[in-house]
Amino acid sequence: MSNASSKKSFGFYIVLLAAVLALAAGVYFLVIHGTFGLDSTHNGDCYDPIITGLLIGGAALAVILSLVKKYGLASAVTAIAPGVAICLFVHKCYWYVVDVFIGIDEKHGFDPRFMIFTGLIAAAFVIGEVAIYVRKTKA
């Protein structure tokens, strides 16, 4: 093994995992175009290009910062970018969630695409938060 790879600790891989999850969430959100529910009303259309940009751009920036050994900044990016994306997503999808909870869309409940995206973005955020507090290099 090379000397460079032996100095990386568990935290380095946590940062990369958070970046991969953010990238997966961003690509998934782009592919489904943020549309949830069976109808195509505006309440089920939660797409916002800023959310996609934050997730994909944040993941790319975190990987680049990790490659240039700026691990602290990379872990901050993996926490902040999905966090801001979650806030924007909650703002954008408020009416879809309200429709499901109030019972307008009670027959169907939450769309599986909504649950998958929410799981991906939440996992990216939580793992990004963990990455802040975990050592990135061996002492």
pLDDT of residue 134: 80
At 36 the pLDDT is 76
Neighbour tally for 73: CB within 10 Å: 14
CB under 8 Å to 117, separation ≥6 — which residues? 25, 28, 29, 32
What's the mean pLDDT when you consider all of the chain? 83
Residue 58: both structure tokens together: 């944040």
* Domain parsing of the chain, residue ranges: 43-132
Tell me what the mean pLDDT of segment 22-47 comes to.
78
pLDDT at 4 over 60: no
Q: What local confidence, expressed as pLDDT, does residue 86 receive?
A: 93
134 touches 71 (CB < 8 A): no
Tens-place pLDDT, residues 72-128:
899 999 999 999 999 999 998 887 777 777 766 556 677 788 889 999 999 999 999
Which pLDDT does position 61 carry in this prediction? 94
- CA–CA separation, 92 vs 96, rounded Å? 9
